[in-house]
Amino acid sequence: MQNLARSSSLPPPPSAPAQSIPTPSTPEPSTPVPFYAPHQKIYPKAARGRFRRIKSALMVGLLALFMLLPWLRWDRGAGLPNQAILFDLDSQRFYLFALELWPQHIYYLTGAMILAAVGLFLATALAGRVWCGYTCPQTVWTDLYVKVEEWIEGDRGARIRLDKGPRNANWLARKTAKHAVWLLIALATGASALFYFVDAPGYVADLLRFQPGPVATGWILFMTACTYAMAGFMREQMCVYVCPWPRIQAALLDDESLTVTYQDWRGDGRAPLRKEQSWAERSAEGLGDCIDCKACVQVCPTGIDIRDGLQMDCISCGLCIDACDDVMGRIGRPGGLIRYDTQAAQEAKAVARKPEPYRLVRPRTIIYSLVMLVVGGMMTIGVLLEPTVDVSVLRDRAPLYVTLSDGAIQNSYTVKISNMTRAPQGYRLTVSGPRGATVTAVGGGAVGGGAVDSGAAGGAAPVLGAEPDTVQTHRIHVRAPAGAAVAGSMPLTLTLTRLSDGVVHQAETVFLAP
């Protein structure tokens, strides 16, 4: 206890210098990261150059073609529409100049879709998203809307100042004028889209009489709203977020595909061009031809920087090439810093500074071309050999067959004859299949009546009639004598011979027996 008392009276041992110990603080609440970045409006600057001229020419040509095609006339004879291109849904006919397509010709639509898809594959393999940059409807109409915007509000700088400036009378007048012109273009687009499905002059007359019809009016308003929204507001968002093609094109490109490329081996490092700085001095400092003016970014309709490499957002329109070539010309440097080029050529220039020749003929371009050639050839042959009659046969399923009082077996069928001519036709019907089979037409379906043996005996074969440009339906009975049906199911061939010219058409079905 005394030792403890003495030890308690001793002075405390020297201690280390006091250190401030940080006290834990309450963490500040973190701001949640948004899943979607806010949309940044793009103000594309007007470009001047060869690619801009090509885009403008294609824009005018394609818009004129779309607007004027429904007004092109084509004489098909009395009682038929004389519109060159008409998708007549009421009569279930598609008229394409001299070609008339019935619902049975749906395979032509399939062939057209295959040609369009493979043609797009071929264009992408050759020159990237050149379809998107020059001929896609979204690009064409957006280009027109931007032209209207430039005409009313001014070029890029003027539009930025107008949007950031005060909402005064000048702002209101320019915005009102722009949207009024946009709506007129959208309305003309909606009406022109409708004219492909109705007779254009006749429907315009209905509009002037204020009798447009609810369905047609709804279609025009729908197309007007879509055009106004997509070309006026969504613009590049349609190309980047909505269209699936940017995500597909990567599988179709190779090292030999032409794309818009920045020649980094020549342009890097990037730095502004100082006053009185010679190009020899700039080269000695390790600087390239790119003066970082961002002219290529300002003209891009999707707002990307092509110097960052090939990107999904690039639509290969070539406007950045025009902008860069213009800058290079003004500072005394050769053009082509941004150009259409291949990845293989880029790598060759970076290593040996030698151009790599462009290979147009490659395995994938050969395959795509052959597919288009085969499909196009098959469609052409189908059009040239297109029959003027189509016959379909549907056998009754309830009952499958009927046993008559004399032991004969009877099957019933529905025969549909599509008469694709302009005159009424008669078709003499004969059958071949079970031995001794005969055929009769029911009710008013037969122009001529009677029964005929399948070839062994004489008799009057029924004649089935078909009105011009219609599908005529007939009911027929096929009977086989007792003991003639030797199997439960036997093939049966119906042969229709056109009385006017002897053209024969056959349809295959089956004859059922116990």
Question: Is 306:296 a contact under the CB 8 Å cutoff?
Answer: yes
What is the chain's mean pLDDT, rounded?
Answer: 85
Instruction: Give tens-digit pLDDT for 23-65.
Output: 555 555 566 766 776 778 899 999 999 999 999 999 999 999 9
Distance CA 391, CA 474 (A): 11
Amino acid at 358: Y
Whether 15 has a pLDDT exceeding 70, the answer reads no
* Per-residue model confidence (pLDDT) at position 250: 78
**Which pLDDT tens digit goes with each residue over 80-133?**
888 999 998 888 889 999 888 888 788 888 999 999 999 999 999 998 889 999
Q: What is the pLDDT of residues 371-426, one digit of tens each?
A: 999 999 998 888 887 777 888 899 988 888 898 988 899 999 999 998 887 788 88
Give the DSSP H or E segment for 186: helix 169-195
C-alpha span between 427 and 465 (Å, rounded):
6
Express each pLDDT in 444-491 by its tens digit. 443 433 333 333 334 468 889 888 888 889 999 999 888 776 678 889
pLDDT tens-place string over residues 146-193:
999 999 999 999 999 999 999 999 999 999 999 999 999 999 999 999
Q: Is 7 exposed, middle or buried (0-12, 13-18, 19+ CB in 10 A)?
A: exposed
Count of Cβ atoms closer than 10 Å to residue 413 Cβ: 20
Packed helices 50-68 and 169-195: angle between N→C axes, nearest 10 degrees: 50
The answer to whether 407 and 485 are in contact (CB under 8 A) is no
Q: Which of 70, 13, 285 minimizes the C-alpha distance to 196? A: 70
Angle 239-149-306 from CA coordinates, rounded to 5°: 40
